[in-house]
Amino acid sequence: MQRVQLNLTGKHMLTLLDYSPEEMEHLLTVSSKLKKEQKQGDPNDSLKGKSLGMIFENASTRTRVSFEVGMTQLGGHSLFLSPRDLQIGRGEPIKDTANVLSRYVDAIMIRTNSHETVAEFAQHASVPVINALTDSFHPCQALADGLTILEHKGTLKGNKLVYIGDGNNVAHSLLALGAKTGMDVTIASPKGYEVDQDIFKRASAAAKETGAMLQLSNDPLEAAKGADILYTDVWASMGFEKEQLNREKAFAGYQINEDLAKHAKADYLFLHCLPAHRGEEVGASIIDGPHSVVYDQAENRLHVQKAILSEVISHNK
């Protein structure tokens, strides 16, 4: 029996916890379809005449390029907007900026520090708002991670993903990804750097629907046992550079290296959202080795971004 296609038009993308398992499956299916079309040279101009406003409070490589190229490949147009380009950088209320931009563009993408900023934009915008990264969540990255795992493992459900490192926005979104897809996720972090407990509780509640097992640990070696996927991120994310030395001490023993990887399955995948610091959170032989799929993962940001855009923006021309 053919499943009815879901209509996500007009829905905000703030966190994967807001999406149902069926919607998650649909987004991953559309991502795969758009990727295949692009590789075959089959253009898709479903967003012809549409515009995306991109607000960046932080520097970006993969996020900016993938969204800009994605809109172009779908026939649309994107506008890069830094705080220097907007009156919001001079104190204009978010409510006013969100309302005005909604009159000009068909969707708003925001990469910012505070998750409350994106939530407030979504509250006042009349067009879809996409969270491209906040201090709490990184849903676009997690969807790209999901697509990568799906391509290499054939499924997400039943796999064990072990994230070793800071309990940050990436860790939160991986918990959400697992909860919505049935993938088991363990987060191993040093004491004092664990994930937000409220977010973990929300993800755990959502996991009951799919049967995913979500766990927290302070022991990276124990956590890595039987892992299908090993994942890490930088120890000092953007905004925490002043804590670099303290974090290096706290995270000693949390590097994904050859010794730790021996605890994972023989065919494990290594993922990293990039940029990476070889010799810190990951050894060079791991990220540059045969188990690493970090460049596939980075490429998939493009295809996932296109799926999000094509689904949340109206297709009416």
Q: Is 15 annotated as a binding residue?
A: no
Q: Is 87 annotated as a binding residue?
A: yes
Question: Catalytic: 233?
Answer: yes
Q: Is 305 annotated as a binding residue?
A: no
Q: Is 90 annotated as a binding residue?
A: no
Q: Can you state the angle between helices 294-312 and 139-153, rounded to 10 degrees?
A: 120
Catalytic residue among 12, 26, 111, 291: 111
User: 246 CB contacts (<8 Å, ≥6 apart)?
Assistant: none
Catalytic residue among 106, 115, 135, 141: 141
Catalytic residue among 145, 272, 273, 303: 273
Q: Is 111 annotated as a binding residue?
A: yes
Q: How many helices (H) and strands (E) does the chain have?
A: 12, 9
Taking residue 243's Cβ as centre, other Cβ atoms within 10 Å add up to 14
Contact criterion met (CB below 8 Å) for 67 and 74: no
Q: Is 297 annotated as a binding residue?
A: no
Q: Is 220 annotated as a binding residue?
A: no
Q: Is 237 annotated as a binding residue?
A: yes
Question: Catalytic: 90?
Answer: no
Q: Is 141 annotated as a binding residue?
A: yes
Q: What DSSP assignment string belongs to 216-265?
A: EES-HHHHTTT-SEEEE--SS-TT-GGGHHHHHHHTTT--B-HHHHTTS-
Question: Catalytic: 291?
Answer: no
Q: Is 274 annotated as a binding residue?
A: yes
Contact criterion met (CB below 8 Å) for 217 and 223: yes
Catalytic residue among 73, 184, 233, 303: 233
Catalytic residue among 115, 138, 172, 247: 138
CA dist., res. 103 & res. 255, Å (int): 47
Question: Catalytic: 273?
Answer: yes
Catalytic residue among 115, 291, 301, 303: 301
Q: Is 2 annotated as a binding residue?
A: no
Q: Give the annotated binding-site residues for carbamoyl phosphate.
A: 60-63, 87, 111, 138-141, 273-274, 301
Residues belonging to the active site: 111, 138, 141, 233, 273, 301
Q: Give the annotated binding-site residues for L-ornithine.
A: 169, 233, 237-238
